Structure 1
Amino acid sequence: MKDYQTYDNPLIQRYASRKMAHLWSPQVKFSTWRRLWVALAQAERELGLNITAEQVEALRAQIETIDFAAAENYERRFRHDVMAHVHTFADAAPSAGAIIHLGATSCYVTDNTDLILSREALGMVRDQLVGAIDALARFADRWKDLPCLGYTHFQPAQLVTVGKRATLWCYELILDLGEIERRLADLRFLGVKGTTGTQASFLALFDGDHDKVKALDDKVAAAFGFDQTYPVAGQTYSRKIDSQTVSALAAVAESGHRFGMDLRLLAHEQEVEEPFEAEQIGSSAMAYKRNPMRAERMCSLARFVMGLPAGMAHTAGTQWLERTLDDSAIRRLIIPQAFLGVDAILNLYNNVVPGMVVHPPRIAAHIAEQLPFMATENLLMAAVQAGGDRQALHERIRVHSHDAAARLKGGAADNDLIARLEKDAAFPPLDFAGVMDPSKFTGRSARQVEEFLEAEIEPIRRRYPGRTETRTEIHV
């Protein structure tokens, strides 16, 4: 039953995917602690410590069956979460209770678990990015030839194409993908480092045998699929790792915010809209509204994630020699929520892009209103080539342009600049319609899209076969 008397984190209840929410659940966290204790015991046994196979198997059998109530009771008594779970695990496997956590400090389970879960979560973010990149690439390819107004300062500028604009959003996600891949490639295991990172307790267990301590570190790391551990550490791995990870996630949020903002602007222009469901209500008062709810949510979530790196930076900068515990609470808050927030943003991205609606008639209407002004330079050049006087023609264009603009501002439904110029005797006979073809004003837009798809998108598709087209559903 849902507890309606206690605050619910909206990231869990409304926004993030069930998969990401499960990854950061107590069940996954504490069963990972137990897997770490099993791996430690197994490796210590293999290296000659007095631990039996039966003890290891007794622990292994209880990895998932966690008595959370008992653990909470122990923590109230001990005021120590790791020792609470050590005792709970020992109660479940009494024959192995004496060898749980042998030689380890708390950060053996807490830090290694954070690294294991961060690796899994980064992989999920990577796959969502690949899906969004592919979806935007398909959109760009479909609309690469459709001219539309380009904007600078949100004022009409030269024409681009709908597909070319989509490559701008897509390329930012490609940059994010590269950073997430880098974070994954650089991520290592803490391993078994002891209370101040010297491995002194393990060196004592193995009677001063440095090689066995090194082998223990390698064996436990390998059990979790890590081929490297951090070469030096205090009790914890460097908190710069967390800072770098959260910063990479915040960069994804930046890209999501930019896309969401652009989509909201285009929705205002009625040129491109996010999907709108049959029974969806845009406003509780104004029944006709089609508010860009998904894009607005993306921007809102992005602002939250973009604000998180400062907390991790401060944490990384205040570690006090071999460690201090003031990193604990803030990391419990920021690390999961950074992943949950980005997961929610990318879920929206993958939901919106495959269903984006383009309205060519509205786009054409906006071009028709503005293109006559943009085309005047081309018309001037064509008229001079046909024998006209450049300076005289320039003056006629200036006068007619201002008159046409004043007419539009006065409420006219169309831009009559070209009609005015066609009737002006100062202009020699010209193919005004040919000069006014919008496709002649988009430069290399279509070709740039094709080149972008070949150079940037196809390598990603080859690198991640089967991870594209991840259309997602969103929660309330």
Structure 2
Amino acid sequence: MSAYDTYKTPLDSRYSSDEMKRLFGARNRHSTWRKLWLWLAEAEREVGLEGISDEALQQMREHLVLTDEDFEVARVEEAIRKHDVMAHVHAFGVAAPAAAGLLHLGATSCYVTDNAELILMRDAMDLLLPKLATCIHKLSAFALETKDIPTLGFTHFQPAQLITVGRRAAQWVQDLMMDLRNIEQQRQQLRFRGGMGTTGTQASFMELFHNDGAKIDKMNELLCKKAGFPNGTYDISVQTYSRKVDLDISNAVAGLGATAIHICSDIRHLASMKTMEEPFSKTQIGSSAMAYKRNPMLSERICSLLIEVMLANYGIVGRKLRSLPVNFADTYSDNWLERSLDDSAIRRIDIPELFLLADSILIGLNNVFSGLVIYPKRIHAQVMDEIPFMASENIIMKMVAAGASRQEAHEQIRVLSHQASDVVKNQGGKNDLIERIKATEYFKPIWNEIDSLLDPKLFTGRAPEMVQKYCGEGGPVQEKLAPYKEYIKSAGTVELKV
């Protein structure tokens, strides 16, 4: 059967990176199980358990990475036993016969499945964090380059007080910085399940070590060291580690999805207004029918990766990555007492999907931030269309300074503004408020000052300073990205798959 004959998830075939796909691949997952069985045997022997030979350990070390033959042995055994862990115990025993009778000693299935998930999630966060830092670095550079360019701000998607292009980008940067912090925090506080027995009481290990709890503690200390978990094990586990851990991690990673939707939606709106565009190659086709189109394909793809229609009959739309914490919350809350199997199948889907989606999103953001394009003249034209209205308050203040009544000046501006709005909205003309003010005798005392009140930079406040302070040298962004400096320096732009 050809690879084209069976379904493959687009996350695998189209979007995610090879390293993330390998991490959650069957070979790496089940090779991690074998490492866990080796580490358990080593730790048990190191704390005094007899009967674990050098030959057994050596054979285990020589067969940590599964071959295709190993998978076939496990497949046949699972068809008989209907138990995946025991099928792989059998396959490992076939590959390392001297260790066959010692594998999984004192452990329950969750010793390998849960500890492996913790290892995979840790390593997945280690892949995401430098990629996220790189995206922040690139967007920060764009913010600094454009910090002085005035542009329309929008509230309620209506023109509001001016900001700068870079100031808007700095807001996006700050949101991504929150995601970096949240994922880092989950990575830093992650612990191991270790060897806890069938219900978390360590009763099986108490039997092995003749009721010597100190040896069990030492065994788990060794396991954590071998697996790379300096924080040790969770203080309390049942048959599984608490699924609250998965929920916390999913909330942090899914937050990145919400940020990506926000940023890419903004870029799509700005592209519609022809003031900003994502990278668009010379040979790229925007539409099969409309040759002139320059659709924001990358931003749309990022949003599309996150879209999941839920309860479609009721028109409720969710977001794929953003919605995954609901699954993790349900998995946690629906787990009965010391453990029920409600958490098995769904976690096999949700955990890889969580990280493959986040990885795909970061690849897309990297591409977008590597070549954002702005059109300064178009931006300036839009600003000048609206700035007469924005300058009206300053004009009122100038009139007051010249001795006029504030209320009278306000009423004069109000009337002229509505007339100018009528020209724009009903006649399709240009905003002529300034011309009307200059033609109104009431404003004659400040006619000579009006043009000086229309400089867009007068309306951007401290926006450039804010960007420099936040994204520039010595600011919070640079300080936060310091640990990722070498990765950022070597990182290029990942080629998107078509």
Pick the TM interval, shorter chain. over 0.9
Q: What is the match of residue 247 of structure 1?
A: 251
Secondary structure of the 2:488 match is coil
Per the TM alignment, residue 99 of structure 1 is displaced from its structure 2 partner at its CA by 1.1
Q: What is the match of residue 460 of structure 1?
A: 480
* 1:135 equivalenced with 2:157 (yes/no): no
* 1:172 equivalenced with 2:175 (yes/no): yes
Q: What is the match of residue 309 of structure 2?
A: none
Per the TM alignment, residue 249 of structure 1 is displaced from its structure 2 partner at its CA by 1.2
Question: Partners of 2:356 and 2:236 in 1: how far apart?
Answer: 30
Per the TM alignment, residue 212 of structure 1 is displaced from its structure 2 partner at its CA by 1.1
Per the TM alignment, residue 278 of structure 1 is displaced from its structure 2 partner at its CA by 1.7
Name structure 2 gaps, 5 residues minimum.
307-318
* 1:289 equivalenced with 2:305 (yes/no): no
Q: Contact conserved, 2:364 with 2:496, CA < 8 A, in 1?
A: yes
* 1:385 equivalenced with 2:401 (yes/no): yes
Question: Partners of 1:213 and 1:392 in 2: how far apart?
Answer: 85
Secondary structure of the 2:76 match is helix
- 1:10-66: CA deviation from partner (whole Å, max 9, x where unpaired): 111111111111110001100000111111111122222211112101111011133
* 1:416 equivalenced with 2:432 (yes/no): yes
Paired letter, 2:457: S
* 1:52 equivalenced with 2:56 (yes/no): no
Paired letter, 1:155: Q
Question: Partners of 1:186 and 1:392 in 2: how far apart?
Answer: 63
Q: What is the match of residue 349 of structure 1?
A: 365
Q: Contact conserved, 1:388 with 1:426, CA < 8 A, in 2?
A: no
Question: Which residue of 87, 92, 97 maps to 1:94?
Answer: 97
Q: Contact conserved, 2:423 with 2:429, CA < 8 A, in 1?
A: no
Question: Partners of 1:236 and 1:412 in 2: how far apart?
Answer: 67
Q: What is the match of residue 453 of structure 2?
A: 435
Per the TM alignment, residue 76 of structure 1 is displaced from its structure 2 partner at its CA by 0.7
- 1:180-222: CA deviation from partner (whole Å, max 9, x where unpaired): 1110111101001111111111111122221111111111111
Question: Partners of 2:330 and 2:478 in 1: how far apart?
Answer: 40
Farther-moved stretch of structure 1 (1-10 vs 267-276): 1-10
Question: Partners of 1:179 and 1:77 in 2: how far apart?
Answer: 44
Q: What is the match of residue 314 of structure 2?
A: none
Paired letter, 1:239: R
Name structure 1 gaps, 5 residues minimum.
none
Secondary structure of the 1:464 match is helix
Matches within 5 A, 1:305-454: 305-412=321-428, 414-427=430-443, 428=445, 429-453=447-471, 454=474
Per the TM alignment, residue 388 of structure 1 is displaced from its structure 2 partner at its CA by 4.2
Question: Which residue of 166, 189, 193 maps to 2:192?
Answer: 189
Q: What is the match of residue 280 of structure 1?
A: 284
Q: What is the match of residue 310 of structure 2?
A: none
Q: Contact conserved, 2:107 with 2:195, CA < 8 A, in 1?
A: yes
* 1:474 equivalenced with 2:496 (yes/no): yes
- 1:135-178: CA deviation from partner (whole Å, max 9, x where unpaired): 11111111000000000000001000000001111111111111
Q: What is the match of residue 259 of structure 1?
A: 263
* 1:231 equivalenced with 2:218 (yes/no): no
Q: Contact conserved, 1:22 with 1:28, CA < 8 A, in 2?
A: yes
Question: Partners of 1:259 and 1:218 in 2: how far apart?
Answer: 44
Question: Partners of 1:315 and 1:186 in 2: how far apart?
Answer: 21
TM-score (norm 1): 0.97
Question: Partners of 1:413 and 1:61 in 2: how far apart?
Answer: 80
Per the TM alignment, residue 105 of structure 1 is displaced from its structure 2 partner at its CA by 1.0
Q: Contact conserved, 1:192 with 1:199, CA < 8 A, in 2?
A: yes
Paired letter, 2:19: K
Question: Which residue of 204, 215, 220 maps to 1:201?
Answer: 204
Q: Contact conserved, 1:82 with 1:106, CA < 8 A, in 2?
A: yes
* 1:111 equivalenced with 2:114 (yes/no): yes
Q: Note closer, same or farther for the CA distance 1:297–1:336 as it changes in structure 2 (3 Å cut).
A: same
Q: Note closer, same or farther for the CA distance 1:212–1:389 as it changes in structure 2 (3 Å cut).
A: closer
Identity %: 46
Per the TM alignment, residue 271 of structure 1 is displaced from its structure 2 partner at its CA by 0.7
Q: Contact conserved, 1:382 with 1:430, CA < 8 A, in 2?
A: no
Per the TM alignment, residue 368 of structure 1 is displaced from its structure 2 partner at its CA by 1.1
* 1:33 equivalenced with 2:55 (yes/no): no
Secondary structure of the 2:442 match is coil
Q: Contact conserved, 1:135 with 1:354, CA < 8 A, in 2?
A: yes
Q: What is the match of residue 154 of structure 2?
A: 151
Work out the number of aligned pairs and report it: 476
Q: Note closer, same or farther for the CA distance 1:259–1:316 as it changes in structure 2 (3 Å cut).
A: same
Per the TM alignment, residue 361 of structure 1 is displaced from its structure 2 partner at its CA by 0.9
- 1:106-154: CA deviation from partner (whole Å, max 9, x where unpaired): 1111000000010011112211221111111111111000000000000
Per the TM alignment, residue 414 of structure 1 is displaced from its structure 2 partner at its CA by 2.8
Question: Partners of 1:223 and 1:390 in 2: how far apart?
Answer: 76
Give the root-mean-square deviation of aligned CA atoms: 1.5
Q: Note closer, same or farther for the CA distance 1:315–1:2 as it changes in structure 2 (3 Å cut).
A: same
Per the TM alignment, residue 412 of structure 1 is displaced from its structure 2 partner at its CA by 4.2
TM-score (norm 2): 0.93
Question: Partners of 1:46 and 1:2 in 2: how far apart?
Answer: 48
Secondary structure of the 1:159 match is strand
